[in-house]
Structure 1
Amino acid sequence: MPPYEDYLKLPTDDRDDLNEIRDVYHSALAIIDTSQVKRLHYIMERRMKANARRAAGARAGLVFDGPPTVGKSTLVKLFAARYEKRLRRKNPDKFRDGYESNGMLIDYTPVVYLSIPARATPKDLSVLLADYLGMVQRGRGTQTDITNHVLSVLSDVGTELVIIDDVHFLDLSAKEGRVVNDHLKYIANETAATFVYTGVNLKKSGLFLEGQADSRATQTSGRYTLHAVRKFGCTTAQDKLEWAQTVRALEDTLALYRHRPGQLVKLSPYLYDRTDGSICALTDLIRESAIEAVMSEEEVITRKLMERVEISEYAQATYRQVVRQRRKTAPARTKTAAS
C-alpha cells in the first residue's frame, strides 16, 4: 500500500480501486496453521506414507470427528491442496496435457475431494465420484455399473487420497447403515488410496456401528483411526496462549492503515467470547471487521467496531448468553469485593 498520507491524496476513483483490492484481500484472509492443524496434518502425512506401498486391499484410513465450525473441512482441504502442490513440484510431467500411463492418455488425479449432500445414498456417492473425475455417464446406470466404472478410473488416474467431507449426511440410519458401510468398504478395498472422512458426531453414527447397537462395530472401526477436532479451549494458560497466537497470526495479515500490531491480541478474551473458540467464527469476525474498517474509513479494528459486525447466529446467541451471565454475576462480585 502507498503511505497513508499519499493514500489520502489519491483521486476518489483510485482510492476506491485500492480499497476494493483490500476488500478482496481481506475476504480471502490467511489460513492459519494452528497447533491442531499441524498435529492432524502430521498424522495424515504419516498415514499416507504408511499406506504408500501397502499390499492390495483396504488401507488404514482416518476419520475426523467434531462439532460444526471447528475447521474440519478447511483442515482436510488445506492438506489436500498442499499434498497435490508438492506432487506438482516433484512430478510436473504427470500433470501436463497428454500424460500417458499404461498406454492411455490420462488426467492424473492424485487427490479426490467430495462434499456429501444431505441424505446421500451409496449410489449418490458413486455418482459424485464419477462427476469429480469428469466421467461421462451414459443412460441410467445401476449402482454397481457406476461404482465399477469409478473404481477403474480411480486406478487409471493414480488417485492416492480420497477425502469424503460431511459424512454425517450419508444415510447412516439403522435401516441403511449396513448398506452404506458395505459400499464405503468396497470402494476402499478396491482403491489404492488413503481414505479420510470428516463429519459431526461420527463416533456414535452408523459409520462405526452400522446403525445398530454398540456391539455391532463395523470394519470401518477396525481400519480407521478416529481423531477429534475441537474448538479452542480457554481454561489453561496454554489454551489462552494458543488462542492469542492465532489471533496475532490473523492480525499480522491485515492491510489497514491505522491498525497497530497487538491491538487485537489485547482483545483476545473478548474475541473468544464473541466466537466461543471457533476458528471459523473468528476468521468470519476478523474478515468482516477488516472490511468494515475500510468502508467506514476508520482503518483500525476496535471492540466498538466489532460490536457492529454480526456473524453466525450460533456465535451471536452464545455471546449474548455470555453477556447476560456476566451481568447477573457482576453485582455479586462487587458486593464480595466491598465486604
Structure 2
Amino acid sequence: MNTKQGWAGFVDEILDAPVPMRREELEALSPGDRALNREARKQFMIRGSVVHTAQFKAIETEILRRLMLNRYKSHGKLGVIVSGEPNIGKTTTITQIARRFERRRRGIGAVGSNAIPVIYVSVPPSCTPKLMLGEFAHFLGLPERARYNTGELMNTIATLIGTCGTELIVVDEIHNLNQRYRQMAEASDTLKQLSEKCPGTFVYAGVDVEASGLLDGARGRQISSRFQIMNLQKFPRTGKAKQAWANLLVAVEGSLGLLEQEPGAILRHERELHDATGGIIGDLTSTLHMLAIDAIDSGAERLDLDAVFGTKPAPAAAASASA
C-alpha cells in the first residue's frame, strides 16, 4: 500500500461474501468447485471482513470532523493520532477508515481520474527529513534522483499533493520519530512543514505514542495541541464492557464462513478466549482465523474450542458426537 498503485488496488478490491450453503450443498459440488468455495471463504474471512467496533466508529468520526474543519484553515491544521499497543488494530483501523473515505469521495464524483484523495506512508526506522520525504516521493511515483535538495523536494511534494486533491494523509509507524534525537526531531518538523504547505489532514498511528518520545519537548507539546490522541484499547471483560466483548466475538464468528458453526456458540468460551488473547482484537482474529482455516480444510466446518481449551462439550454437541 506504500505506492499510489498499491493503495488504489487496496481501495478498489471488493470481496463478496461467499453464498451461504449447507454441507450437503457443498458436497454436491464438483471437487474443483468445492476447492474454490473453500478458498473463497478463507480469503473473505481474512481480507474481506472488517468488524466496525465502537472504537473504530469513534476514531472515524473524529477524523471526519477534523477533515471538515481543516478545509477552512490555512495554518495550524488539526490532526488525529491513533495510539495503542502492538496488534491492537491501529493499522487496520486507519487504513480501513481511509479506504472508506476514498470510496465515498469516488462515489459522489468528488474526485477526478488523476486525483489521489489519500496518501499512506510509514515512518522508517532512524528516520531523517530526507528519508521521510522519500516515503512521500515513493508513494507518489516521483522519479528517484541521486542528489536532491530537501527544500526543493518538499515543495515538489506539497505542490503535487495540492494538484492531486489529496485530503487525507496517513502516516503509520509514527513512534519511530523520537524528539530526543535530532534527526528524528527534524523529520517531525518536516511533517509539520508539509502540513502547512499543502492541503490535507494528517493522521498518525503508532505504538504507545505517548511514551515514544514523539510528544516530548516543545515540538511534542505543539503536536499535542493540534492532534487529538485516540487510544485503541483492549476489550475488558468486566461490567458493561463485557457485552462489547461478547458482541465482538459474535461478529468475528459470523465472518468465519463455517457451514456448521452455530451462531453464538463461541460465547461458551468467551472467558477462555479473553484469557488467551487479553482482549486484543488482533490476537483474537488471528487465533480464530487459524482455527477456522483448519476447520474448513479438515471438513469439520465448526470451531472446536473444547479441544483447544480442554473444556467439556455442550450437552447437545456431546449427544450429537455420540450419535
Q: Which amino acid aligns with 1:246?
A: L
- Give the secondary structure class of the aligned counterpart of 1:65: strand
Q: Give the total of aligned pairs.
A: 291
User: What SS does the aligned partner of 1:58 have?
Assistant: coil
Distance 1:141 1:11, change over 3 A: same
The aligned counterpart of 1:241 is 243
User: What is the match of residue 266 of structure 1?
Assistant: 268
- Structure 2 counterpart of 1:79: 97
- Alpha-carbon distance between aligned partners in 1 of 2:276 and 2:48, rounded to the nearest angstrom: 19
Shift of 1:3: 3.2
User: Counterpart of 1:182?
Assistant: 189
Q: Which residue number in structure 1 is paired with residue 317 of structure 2?
A: none
Question: What whole-Å deviation, never above 9, does each CA across 1:85-123 have from its counterpart, x for those lacking one?
Answer: 11101116x333xxxxxxxxxx21111111222222221
Q: How many angstroms apart in 1 are the aligned matches of 2:188 and 2:181?
A: 11
Deviation at 1:32, TM superposition (A): 0.5
Change in 2 beyond 3 A, CA 1:307/1:193: same
1:173–1:206 contact (8 Å) kept in structure 2: yes
129-138 or 21-30, larger mean C-alpha shift: 21-30
Question: What RMSD in Å do the two structures reach over aligned CA positions?
Answer: 2.1
For the residue of structure 1 that corresponds to 2:215, the secondary structure is helix
Is residue 27 from structure 1 mapped to residue 34 from structure 2 by the alignment?
no
Q: State how far apart, in whole Å, the 2-side matches of 1:306 and 1:133 are.
A: 47
* AA in 2 matched with 1:231: K
Q: Retained in 1: the 8 A contact 2:178–2:212?
A: no
**Do structure 1's residue 49 and structure 2's residue 64 form an aligned pair?**
no
8 Å Cα contact 1:114-1:165 kept in structure 2:
yes
8 Å contact kept, 1:120–1:171: no
Q: Counterpart of 1:24 in structure 2: which amino acid?
A: Q
Partner AA of 2:230 in structure 1:
H
How many Å separate the matches in 1 of 2:41 and 2:295? 11
> Following the alignment from structure 1 to structure 2, what is the Cα–Cα distance between the partners of residues 162 and 43?
15
Question: Bigger CA drift: 240-249 or 267-276?
Answer: 267-276
Residues 139 and 241 of structure 1, relative CA distance in 2, 3 Å threshold: same
Q: How does 1:100-249 map to 2 (within 5 A)?
A: 107-170=114-177, 172-210=179-217, 217-236=220-239, 238-249=240-251
TM-aligned CA deviation for residue 14 of structure 1: 3.5
Offset of 1:11 from its aligned partner?
A: 4.1
| Structure 2 CA distance for partners of 1:171 and 1:206, relative to 1, 3 Å | closer
Q: TM-score, normalised by structure 2?
A: 0.83
Name the CA shift for 1:264/1:177 in 2 (closer, same or farther; >3 Å): same
Q: Structure 1 pair 171/146, CA: closer, same or farther in 2 (3 Å)?
A: farther
SS of aligned partner of 1:196: strand
Q: Deviations over 1:164-190 (max 9, x none)?
A: 011112354333343233212211111
Partner Cα distance (2:76, 2:168) in 1: 13
Residues of 1 paired with 2:190 and 2:28: CA distance?
Answer: 64
In structure 2, relative to structure 1, the CA distance for the partners of 1:273 and 1:34 (3 Å cut) is same
**2:174, 2:89 → 1: CA distance?**
15
User: Identity percentage over the alignment?
Assistant: 29
Contact 2:83/2:231, CA 8 A, preserved across alignment: yes
Note the residue ranges of structure 1 that are not aligned, 5 or more in a row.
97-106, 309-339
Instruction: Work out which of the two has the higher radius of gyration on C-alpha atoms and give 1 or 2.
Output: 1
Distance 1:286 1:58, change over 3 A: same
* Structure 1 residue 155: Cα displacement: 1.2
Distance 1:162 1:17, change over 3 A: closer
Shift of the alpha carbon at 1:8?
Answer: 2.6
Q: 1:232 to 1:223 in 2, by over 3 A?
A: same
